Amino acid sequence: MFLADCHVHSSFSSDSSESPENIIQTCIDRGFKYAYFTDHHDMNFPVNSNNPDMDFQLDFEAYFKKLSQLKELYKNKIEIRIGVEQGICPEIADKISALSDSYPFDFIIGSSHLTNLSIENGDPYYPSYYEGRTNVEAYRDYFETEAENVALTDGFDVYGHIDYPIRYCPDKDFVFNFKDYADIIETLLKRLIEKGKGIEINTAGITKIGYAHPHIEILKMYKDLNGEIITIGSDAHISENISYGFDQVHTLLNELGFKYYSLYKDRKPEFISL
């Protein structure tokens, strides 16, 4: 159905212990043509003292050395493409463009895990992010930061899990209402399209919020704005989650009228018919 899972993490990410070899073999077993690696890198990530191993700093030299070796080893079975999930927030946006040109990436996912370099009020993963403001205000701040990031850097290809905070809002009774954010999301999507950037459908949301990121209304708006570049990723941190929910995504894209999805090589999109 799909030729690859474009968002996968290995033991090179601080929050995964999965071996690259297991990931590659799983991709082969799934019948994929390509195996993508998009391990985490968040510059200057504010480490939580309770979890100091989660620094999300990627050792690029070791990363490219290992994956280049595996690329040669598995060349007759599957093509390995090397990417990164680059965390973006305004304080480091100027550094991201330089990094993106420093290594021969096939694919860069730009993701906002932080709205600023602070654990307390910058990371929607933590309940403290939502304190002192309404949930609507917390979500809007996140979307506004994403729109700002797109204006500040070109060092990515698609934006990942655009509505990421919905996974972690501590108020489980709070319901995301697209209309509360439609104006800023429209600005965000228009900026992405104008700059030739795409968006990601991230199936990790299915287990956390009941549907893949982004919300269907965001996908509808993207299509109405003539957005064309969509990549599909599971955000897997263990090999068995690779391609999770992809059948649902295929059905969704067809129902919304999309004709193709995208894969990246050498930072350039390839359009694949659904």
Enter the tokens of residue 216: 């269907």
Q: What letters, b where the CB count within 10 A reaches 16 and e where it falls short, cover 208-246?
A: ebebbbbbebbbebbbeeebbbbbbbbbbbebebbbbbb
Sequence-ordered list of residues with C-beta below 8 angstroms from that of 236, at least 6 positions apart, any chain: 5, 7, 8, 9, 18, 23, 204, 242, 243, 244
Report d(CA 129, CA 170) in Å as an integer.
10
pLDDT for position 233: 98
Mean pLDDT of 91-114: 94
H helix or E strand, kind and range, residue 62: helix 60-73
Q: Which fold has domain 20-273?
A: TIM Barrel (3.20.20)
Does position 198 have pLDDT exceeding 80, yes or no? yes
Residue type, 93: A
Q: Which residue has the tokens 């709070």?
A: 174
Mean pLDDT of 35-57: 85
Query: Which ranges constitute the DSSP H helices of 153-210?
Result: 182-194, 204-209
Report the percent of the chain where pLDDT is more than 70: 99
Does position 62 have pLDDT exceeding 70, yes or no? yes
pLDDT for position 261: 98
CA distances to 179, 187, 205, 233, 241 from 245, rounded to whole Å, are 27, 29, 10, 10, 9
Answer whether 0.85 is exceeded by the pTM. Answer: yes
Report d(CA 34, CA 79) in Å as an integer.
5
Secondary structure of residue 36 in the 3-state scheme:
strand
Q: Where are the domains of the chain?
A: 20-273
Enter the tokens of residue 171: 């108020």
- pLDDT-derived band at 1, boundaries 50, 70, 90: confident
Give residue-wise pLDDT tens across range 6-25.
999 999 999 999 999 999 99
Range in 35-49, 73-87, 215-229, 240-254 with the lowest mean pLDDT = 35-49
pLDDT for position 119: 80
pLDDT for position 49: 63
